[in-house]
Amino acid sequence: MGAKLQVRLTDALNAQTVKAKVTATSWEQAVEVAGMVLVQANLVEPRYIDAMKKTLRKLGPYSVIAPGIAMPHARPEDGVIQTGFSLVTLVNPVTFGNAENDPVDILLAFSASDKERHITALKEISVFLSNDGLMRKVRTANSNDQLLDVIRDFERINN
């Protein structure tokens, strides 16, 4: 029995939580943008952004989970208000320091309100990220609406 998110991806990744073709010149800037999307959606407190960057500095680029894809996050006690995601694509990829999977052009930041939701969120999102066809569409989406169309495609495929 696979665990499911409490909400569908089309609820979690919506007009408030996606940003296509953002300009960032460093991994720090990219994480800040992805984090600000979470803040503006009232999913995390602003201090969560610093916690994500601090975690990356401390543990290294562990959040770069596949070629070109990073999933920055921090612990629930670092300012999570509720479980959620932000999806940000970059105009130009940035280097996180992960020799195998750099450079990164897709960030899927997430906040989880507890460890159970953290694991559930990772399982659900890994299905989305492992679909090469959808990732190609994410990379070529030039607008937030086009990103949302890709997410809707994922929902149709998996429901």
- Each of the 159 residues of the chain gets a pLDDT tens digit; together they read 344 444 467 678 889 999 999 999 999 999 999 999 999 999 999 999 999 999 999 988 888 989 999 999 999 999 999 988 999 999 999 999 999 999 999 999 989 887 776 676 677 777 888 888 889 999 999 999 999 999 888 888 776
* Residues recognised as catalytic: 73
Give a yes or no: residue 40 inside a domain.
yes
pTM for the full model? 0.89
Instruction: Give the helix ranges, DSSP H, for the chain.
Output: 9-12, 27-40, 47-59, 115-129, 132-140, 144-158
Give a yes or no: residue 96 inside a domain.
yes
Instruction: Tell me if 121 sits within 8 A of 105, measured CB to CB.
Output: no
Pairing of strands 84-94, 18-22: parallel
CATH of the domain at 120: 3.40.930.10
Q: How many separate domains does the chain show?
A: 1
Give a yes or no: residue 1 inside a domain.
no
CA atoms within 13 A on the CB side of 3: 13
What is the separation of C-alpha 41 from the centre of its chain, rounded to a whole number of angstroms? 14
Domain that holds residue 144: 9-158
> If we measure between CA atoms, which residue out of 76, 13, 84, 72 comes closest to residue 42?
84
Helical (H) or strand (E) element with 94:
strand 84-94
CA 115, CA 29: separation in Å to the nearest integer?
A: 27
Give a yes or no: residue 2 inside a domain.
no
